[in-house]
């Protein structure tokens, strides 16, 4: 059977996604990419984009970079204020990338085609916006160096909520409870802010002088953060547990949930990548990272790997998660509708996906549209409609943990479609899960056109 280029690309993607080919477990393999990155650019923050690529900021290069899963880099500088030092970056609910400009005191937006728009209204002089994330309310939330937490709509309207001016607020992430969580580096605290701007701070259980820095939502329903030679876990109720990295001045910085259900973090002072289980068992990996790289930010990629920036090494790194499965096969099926939540209630029908904070919904798709129980992944077209709020959906395997990557983003009232490869459960159940980050119900439709096993 002759396959089109579309199917060849899909097959290549699923091989990367599932780590297929040898039938043996992969080691944690590091690959570094430097071609196409301007000398001295200082890649800082990185995030998975809605276009299937990774996007990163260049703090000294004053650019936004894009790298494909194959390592091809494109840089964008047009429309970015000179010497603005792009810092944090995240995918927005509008299908664009949003980034902070630390010295220009503004927020930038870049489309997947590289068109930049900057927003400065509502920012005070010296606010120095840093971390940024998509919130459960369809807006972007960001931190300011002097204790501020800000919110900006997809139309560029900003509001700022202040905590302590001495807090040294660093990074921010959306939590499983529908709130935003952030680190206070100077005061050794973790903060929580509701979408209405109500702030609560937690310090009990955090080592004095621990310097919390990176933070992410974990696969266990908790928040995970990095500290001076430790990683910490905080429950939505504010209960903290710390786990020692035991590397001596490792300085963990960025942290992200991986597709393997573990937490992955950078160790900037010793040029390594660390990994923690949800129970706090820590391992680190150094082989393959060039000395003096200073790995800074990390994110889960669409290929099942973790991608990180090398601030001093001027590179983007990729580390495999070690997933393993058997040899692949690809099977095209006639386009077929697997599920539609607009239909009457049922396993593959209604009700609509419930708002953020509700349990992720599980769909068993094996046996539907000719998908066998031993299928490892499916090629799909996904559609959202009747969207009561802005946000994103994340599709992941039924026996796995949230990956931290988006499958489709949308605005309130918008109908939107996207293609993708979705991994199914490895336990033979043929299931997938869907996370809804929006603050309202969303109808979800899934059509399949091929499966892999």
Please identify every residue annotated as catalytic: 253
CA distances, 453 to each of 23, 72, 223, 393, 423 (Å):
12, 28, 34, 24, 10
336: which 2 tokens? 């077929």
Tally the residues of the chain. Answer: 453
354, 411, 425, 431, 446 from 339: Cα distances, Å: 16, 22, 17, 12, 5
Specify the pairing of strand 148-152 against strand 223-227. Answer: unpaired
CA distances to 28, 208, 300 from 186, in Å: 34, 10, 28
Give the C-alpha separation, 328 to 1, whole Å.
16
Distance CA 421, CA 428 (A): 18
d(C-alpha 277, C-alpha 265), whole Å: 12
Residue 302: closest CA among 113, 44, 50, 93: 50
Quote the tokens at residue 220.
């266990």
CA 403 distance to own-chain centroid: 7
Burial 411-450 (b: 16+ CB within 10 A, else e): bbeeeeebebbbbbbbeebbbbbbbbbbbbbbbbbbbbbb
Spatial distance between the Cα atoms of 283 and 134, rounded to a whole number of angstroms: 29
261: left (phi over 0), alpha (psi -120 to 50) or beta: left
């Amino acid at each position: 059977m002759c396959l089109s280029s579309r199917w060849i690309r899909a097959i290549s993607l699923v091989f990367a996604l599932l780590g297929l080919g040898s039938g043996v477990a992969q080691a944690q393999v590091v690959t570094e990419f430097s071609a196409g990155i301007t000398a001295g650019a200082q890649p800082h923050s990185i995030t998975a984009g809605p276009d299937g690529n990774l996007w990163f900021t260049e703090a000294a290069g004053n650019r936004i970079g894009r790298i494909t899963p194959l390592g091809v880099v494109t840089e964008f500088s047009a429309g970015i204020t000179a010497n603005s030092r792009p810092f944090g970056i995240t995918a927005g609910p509008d299908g664009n990338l949003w980034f902070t400009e630390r010295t220009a005191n503004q927020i930038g937006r870049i489309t997947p085609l590289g068109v930049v728009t900057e927003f400065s209204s509502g920012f005070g002089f010296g606010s120095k916006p840093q971390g940024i994330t998509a919130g459960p309310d369809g807006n972007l939330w960001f931190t300011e160096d002097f204790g501020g937490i800000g919110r900006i709509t997809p139309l560029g309207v900003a509001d700022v909520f202040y905590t302590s001016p001495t807090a040294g607020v660093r990074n921010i992430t959306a939590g499983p409870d529908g709130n935003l969580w952030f680190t206070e580096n100077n005061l050794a605290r973790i903060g929580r802010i509701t979408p209405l701007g109500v702030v609560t701070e937690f310090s009990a259980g955090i080592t004095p002088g621990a310097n919390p820095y990176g933070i992410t939502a974990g696969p266990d329903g908790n928040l995970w953060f990095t500290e001076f030679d430790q990683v910490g876990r905080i429950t939505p109720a504010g209960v903290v547990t710390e786990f020692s990295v035991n590397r001596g001045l490792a300085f963990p910085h960025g942290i992200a949930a991986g597709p393997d259900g573990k937490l992955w973090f950078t160790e900037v002072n010793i040029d390594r990548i660390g990994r923690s289980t949800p129970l706090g068992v820590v391992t680190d990996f150094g082989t393959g990272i060039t000395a003096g790289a200073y790995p800074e930010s990390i994110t889960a990629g669409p290929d099942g790997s973790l991608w990180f920036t090398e601030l001093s090494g001027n590179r983007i790194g990729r580390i495999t998660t070690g997933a393993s499965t058997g040899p692949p096969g690809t099977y095209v099926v006639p386009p077929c509708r697997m599920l539609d939540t607009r239909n009457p209630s049922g396993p593959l029908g209604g009700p609509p996906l419930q708002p953020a904070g509700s349990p992720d919904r599980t769909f068993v798709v094996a046996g539907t549209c000719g998908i066998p129980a031993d299928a490892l992944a499916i090629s799909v077209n996904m559609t959202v409609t009747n969207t009561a709020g802005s946000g994103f959906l994340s599709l992941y395997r039924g026996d796995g943990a949230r990956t931290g990557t988006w499958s489709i983003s949308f605005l309130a009232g918008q109908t939107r479609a996207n293609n993708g490869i979705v991994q199914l459960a490895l336990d033979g159940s043929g299931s997938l899960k869907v996370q809804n980050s929006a603050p309202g119900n969303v109808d979800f439709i899934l059509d399949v056109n091929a499966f892999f096993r």
